[in-house]
């Protein structure tokens, strides 16, 4: 089997891993409504939290983060044995991330990608992941807007990556992830500007 074919299979596997909808799976396990049926209708941890079940939301967050982390860790560990370097790792990172955004299991209508992106960044460089997470937490816990926290963290991630790596090829992957995150949160930005964006923990309307 050629190295190119191995790389393609790994990228495809990363996409399928990213496509696993932990918000839907965890909601089913806890006997909750499908997260696509209430709140923002987004299959992600923040919307699951609107159900009032913190355990389901936490498990969703862990699952979404873990799949991004696992895909990149495996690519970094086993890629060099097949002559696959940082470019391959970057493709795997993008595949698992876009698998979450456009999952084949949910007819390509997925979540916003914040937790999966965090997992990817932690696997690429723990300092990059921690700096980006710290940015998200700072905004989220002070202003109570998950979307605003995601937008600020996404904008900061490429800057952190540049300071850590310089002009490394992986900076391109981080930049693409950041732009995709901002694009996914564009409607949230409009609601933030209009004062209609719900805060973290806001319960779904009955």
Task: Tell me the per-residue pLDDT of 132-167, one tens digit each, with 9 for 90 and over.
Answer: 999 999 999 999 888 899 999 999 999 999 999 988
Where b means 16+ CB within 10 Å and e means fewer, 101-136 reads: bbbeebeeebbbbbbbbbbbbbbbbeebbebbbebb
Nearest residue to 199 via CA among 138, 154, 146 = 146
Nearest residue to 90 via CA among 176, 165, 19 = 176
**pLDDT reported for residue 156:** 96
Mean pLDDT (whole number) for 80-90: 93
Model confidence at 202, pLDDT cuts 50, 70, 90, reads low
**pLDDT reported for residue 206:** 42
Model confidence at 54, pLDDT cuts 50, 70, 90, reads very high
Distance, in Å, from the CA atom of 61 to the CA atom of 76, rounded to the nearest integer, reads 23
């Amino acid at each position: 089997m050629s190295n190119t074919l191995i790389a393609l299979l790994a990228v495809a596997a990363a996409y399928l891993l990213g496509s696993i909808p932990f918000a839907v799976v965890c909601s089913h396990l806890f006997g909750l409504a499908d997260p696509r049926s209430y709140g923002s209708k987004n299959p992600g941890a923040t919307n699951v939290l609107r159900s009032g079940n913190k355990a389901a939301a936490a498990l969703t967050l862990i699952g979404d983060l873990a799949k991004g982390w696992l895909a990149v860790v495996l690519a970094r560990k086993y890629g060099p044995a097949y002559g696959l370097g940082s470019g391959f790792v970057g493709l795997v990172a993008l595949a698992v991330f876009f698998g979450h955004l456009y999952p084949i299991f949910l007819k390509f209508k997925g979540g916003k990608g914040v937790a999966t992106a965090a997992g990817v960044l932690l696997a690429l460089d723990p300092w990059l992941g921690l700096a980006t997470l710290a940015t998200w937490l700072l905004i989220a816990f002070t202003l109570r807007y998950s979307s605003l926290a995601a937008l600020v963290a996404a904008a900061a991630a490429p800057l952190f990556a540049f300071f850590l790596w310089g002009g490394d090829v992986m900076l391109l992957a981080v930049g693409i992830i950041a732009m995709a995150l901002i694009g996914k949160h564009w409607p949230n930005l409009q609601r933030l500007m209009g004062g209609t964006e719900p805060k973290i923990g806001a319960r779904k309307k009955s």
